[in-house]
Structure 1
Amino acid sequence: MPSWPQHFSTLARYNVWATRRLLAAVGDLPEEAYRRDVGLFFKSIHGTLNHLLVGEHHLWFVRFSEGTSPRLSLDAELESDRQKLEQRLVEGAERWQALIQSWPLERFDGELSYITMRGQPANLPFCATLAHVFNHGTHHRGQVTAALTALGRTITELDLVYMLQEESKRS
């Protein structure tokens, strides 16, 4: 049975892999379509990608790595430049692997204490909350994929099993 660090390392690798593939599919999208309100929770593809930057990298990563809780709006536009946003998303996704490997095994059995966006203290199971971070990214990548499909684009598979199949072919 894999250990928690192995399990979450797999999810961190998947996060990088899926983020790169999604951004490749978004890469040649015309600017107007990229910024158009296509009915996503954060309106546009750009808004959704900025939300991923906020949530995954500026809130949750900081909570897990530094034990602090930044006060940011979930719909903040932290990066208006499209190419810089893509670079920051990939760089942010790449940081999770080392963080996960730095934790002692007993950390995974503990809790994560942080302050919510509403200023309330929260203590949640560490592993379940870490799983939330990766699940959240998958959810929003799925939204962007649906938007791309509605815009007449095709996108390669983003399912975890495809990454695992690619990795098994390399070993």
Structure 2
Amino acid sequence: MALPEMINHMEHLLCVHTNEEKLIKDVLPGVHLYPLVLDVENGLWVLRVQFEPGVTLPTHFHTGIVHLYTMSGCWHYVEYPDDKQVAGSYLFEPGGSIHTFHTPETNEGLTDTFMVVHGANINFDADGNFVNIMDAGWIEQVMLAAAKEQGIEPHYIKPKSSYDFSDR
């Protein structure tokens, strides 16, 4: 079998070295991140996120799957308080899951995570009322606003696509 013809020639590797990038702080209160991939058209967001102790995110419904790896620290879902996610934990979340992310107040330091999210989080308040939709576009907007305020020019992978007809 012959090597397939290259469809997309890459001039360089698409790699984000988070150890060389500036952490964008307080994109949400107590939530700091390195954007890695924000693909609005395909609903994909890949982030390295660090959470301060005591952060609780809104209860949310996932429209797609999530892969979440914990590199350091500890967190759990409010609905599963005894199932702590610690360094080395990998969590797969199927689309349709509903939960509330929380980092314990007793954590020493930041909880450092890597996540790949397909689709959106539909967020709700404590009474079950709709708050907002968090997807790749929303993440990009709030991240860019926080970065601008902090004088940071984020470096991340963003598809540059436009839709058109194929050649006939």
User: Normalising by structure 1, what TM-score?
Assistant: 0.33
Rg larger in structure: 2
Q: TM-score, with normalisation over the residues of structure 2? A: 0.34
Higher strand share: 2
Q: Which has the larger share of helix?
A: 1
